Amino acid sequence: MPTFSIIPTISDLLAEATAKLAPHSDSARLDTELLLAFVLDKPRSYLYAHADEKPDAERFDIFVGLVQRRCQGEPLAYITGRREFWSMELVVNRHTLIPRPETEVLVQQSLACLDPGPRSVLDLGTGSGAIALALAGERPEDRVVATDISAEALAVARFNASRLGISNIEFLAGSWFEPVAARRFDLIASNPPYVADGDPHLELNGLPYEPVTALVAGEDGLDCIRDLARLAPAHLNQGGYLLLEHGYDQAERVASILAEQGFTDIQHHSDLAGIPRVSSGKLA
């Protein structure tokens, strides 16, 4: 926003930054408020209560730089290093997928599948730890295991667990079930990579900033889901559940994959837009 010759008030700064960001973001006003609150190290409400104040020159310059990054398409969560998920503030970085609201459907359905009493739960491909942390936080008596092939992502997940004071999670590095050897669980949840190689969406909405290993899964996007459905029965207790997040148009194919591996009671679960984004099956 080099149009300012002197530092503007918070109110004017927000208006100007919103106008600059509007062509690049559907949530320009919210983005600018979150960025300014981040730079000022204050809650968003501060911006309204102190609309006539002016930030100091150093913070003004930092804010201008961050708005510029956002205009270039960098996701807000990578700029601030934070993302809200299941009412928890998670630290994220370029090694972790940014947790999405639709993944909360996976958490919700997992909670619905789990009987009372201590249960064992496995989150495969935990990234920032979002699913494992939500489940472990809601069910402190459970034993949760979280795996990821990325050591860097696991370090972030561990850091989030310690920041949030959640201690009933074991973090293990390795490919899918490899780190859990022959252990069995009452419920396995995963939000695996499910975007097809070369899908044009990979160029949009900040996806170029996210780790490709968190996104892409072969020609039809279902390579990981096929592997997980094939391997899961050997790691589930009788009557255990497998819940998988998938793409907006993959529900029917995921249901067939689950049925081929002997899962029963296959159900689809929709996000707030009514799109089936999670499918579950039970081991008979």
Question: How far apart (Å, rounded) are the C-alpha atoms in residues 79 and 137?
Answer: 26
Q: Which is nearer to ligand SAM, 101 or 118 (CB)?
A: 101
Contact segment (CB under 6 A) with ligand SAM among 125-133, 136-144, 163-171, 253-261 equals 125-133
Q: Which of 10, 131, 156, 242 binds ligand SAM (CB under 6 A)?
A: 131
Burial (Cβ within 10 Å: 0-12, 13-18, ≥19) of residue 183: exposed
Q: Which of 32, 150, 250, 280 binds ligand SAM (CB under 6 A)?
A: 150
Q: Is 11 in the site for ligand SAM (CB under 6 A)?
A: no
Residue type at 283 in one-letter notation: L
Q: Which is nearer to ligand SAM, 25 or 147 (CB)?
A: 147
> Whole-number minimum distance, CB 45 to ligand SAM, in Å?
28
- Is residue 148 within 8 A of residue 154, CB to CB? The reply is yes
Q: Is 125 in the site for ligand SAM (CB under 6 A)?
A: yes
- How many residues bind ligand SAM (CB under 6 A)? The answer is 21
Question: How far apart (Å, rounded) are the C-alpha atoms in residues 150 and 90?
Answer: 17
3-state DSSP: the chain helix, strand, coil percent, rounded to 5? Answer: 45, 20, 35
Where in 179-198 is the site for ligand SAM (CB under 6 A)?
191-193
Build a one-symbol-per-residue string for 73-112: x at contacts with ligand SAM by CB under 6 A, - elsewhere: ------------------------x-x---x---------
Task: List the one residue out of 124, 82, 88 whose CA is nearest residue 104.
Answer: 88
Contact segment (CB under 6 A) with ligand SAM among 64-72, 124-132, 161-169, 273-281 equals 124-132
Question: How far apart (Å, rounded) are the C-alpha atoms in residues 263 and 284?
Answer: 7
Build a one-symbol-per-residue string for 219-238: x at contacts with ligand SAM by CB under 6 A, - elsewhere: --------------------
Coil vs helix vs strand at 64: helix
Return the residue matching tokens 């981040």: 38
Contact segment (CB under 6 A) with ligand SAM among 15-23, 49-57, 69-77, 142-150 equals 142-150
> Whole-number minimum distance, CB 6 to ligand SAM, in Å?
43
What's the sign of the alpha-carbon dihedral 114, 255, 153, 146?
positive
Contact segment (CB under 6 A) with ligand SAM among 71-79, 143-151, 159-167, 246-254 equals 143-151
Q: Is 153 in the site for ligand SAM (CB under 6 A)?
A: yes
Question: How far apart (Å, rounded) are the C-alpha atoms in residues 138 and 224?
Answer: 27
Angstrom distances, CA of residue 9 to CA of 21, 29, 36, 39, 42? 18, 16, 12, 14, 16
- CA dihedral (175, 176, 178, 183) in degrees, to 10, reads 160
Per CB under 6 A, residues contacting ligand SAM are 97, 99, 103, 125-128, 130-131, 147-150, 153, 175-176, 191-193, 213-214
